[in-house]
Amino acid sequence: MKIISVTDPEFTNYGRIIEGYEEEKKQIMEALGANTPIPEGTEYVAEEKVLQELEASVKMTNTLFGGSPMQYGWCNGHNTKLNCLEYHRSSEINLGATDFILLLAKREEISDYKLDSSKVKAFLVPKGVMVEVYATALHYAPCQAHKDSGFQVLVGLPQGTNVGKPEYTAVNQEDKLLRATNKWLLAHADSKEAKDGAWIGITGENIDIAGDIQ
């Protein structure tokens, strides 16, 4: 699979590079490196106290998100597979203390609540580059950019996202995709999430970039 840099104009269909914030990025990367693990699998923490209390996080809340309450957590580990795609009603901020790869598709490419994995593109985000992933971009857990190392990635989202699941009765098909607060998910049939009852909405192969990284 071709891996595209986020500096390529193609990325602007899915998100943008956030310029500036050099001191804030440095502070966050140091905190990620010192306080969060890189497990063999993939681990996600929606809100990490150490990250939440950084001056950098307070500034980013007040500027990047216009003062709306935010949570800062992380997604770390080792991964090369697509497995699922999700979307939120809001943008997401990512910043890696390592290089990492995002597998992305466009929400508009969903047809009848399904998406062919051939629509997915891989984007390399270098260490220290902060990106906004638009609400219209389907995404999931990052992938490692190198065979011999994992990833450590900041995840900034509106407060309460991915924390618990609202009680509801599905009114339409999209409601059946709701897996957690502010999280709608399409799973590939081969994924653990599908076996746990998630909507099987990814057709085609379950992309694995293991052979595309060095």
| Tens digit of each residue's pLDDT (9 = 90 or more) over 92-146 | 999 999 999 999 999 999 999 999 999 999 999 999 999 999 999 999 999 999 9
Quick one: pLDDT band at residue 54, thresholds 50, 70, 90? very high
Q: Which residues contact 158 (CB under 8 A, 6 or more apart)?
A: 65, 68, 69, 70, 71, 88, 90, 182
**Over residues 37-53, mean pLDDT:** 98
Q: Which residue has the tokens 């809001």?
A: 90
Please, are residues 124 and 17 in contact by the beta-carbon 8 Å criterion? no
**Over residues 27-44, mean pLDDT:** 98
Architecture of domain 3-212: Sandwich (2.60)
> How many angstroms separate the CA atoms of 177 and 63, rounded?
31
CA distances to 100, 203, 212 from 95, in Å: 9, 29, 22
> How many angstroms separate the CA atoms of 104 and 205, rounded?
15
Query: Each residue of 84-93: pLDDT tens digit?
Result: 999 999 999 9
Q: What is the pLDDT of residue 205?
A: 98
Q: What is the pLDDT of residue 188?
A: 99
**Over residues 159-180, mean pLDDT:** 96
| Spans of all domains in the chain | 3-212
CA terminus-to-terminus distance, the chain: 13
Mean pLDDT score of the chain, rounded to an integer? Answer: 98
Tell me the residue length of the chain: 214
Q: What is the pLDDT of residue 32?
A: 98
Quick one: pLDDT band at residue 52, thresholds 50, 70, 90? very high
Quick one: pLDDT band at residue 214, thresholds 50, 70, 90? very high
The phi, psi pair for 63, rounded to 5°, reads: -110, -65
**Over residues 177-205, mean pLDDT:** 98
Query: Each residue of 8-22: pLDDT tens digit?
Result: 999 999 999 999 999
Closest C-alpha among 96, 84, 115 to residue 180 = 84
Query: Each residue of 72-88: pLDDT tens digit?
Result: 999 999 999 999 999 99
Q: What is the pLDDT of residue 158?
A: 98
SS3 163: coil
Q: What is the DSSP letter of 139?
A: B
> How many angstroms separate the CA atoms of 68 and 36, rounded?
25
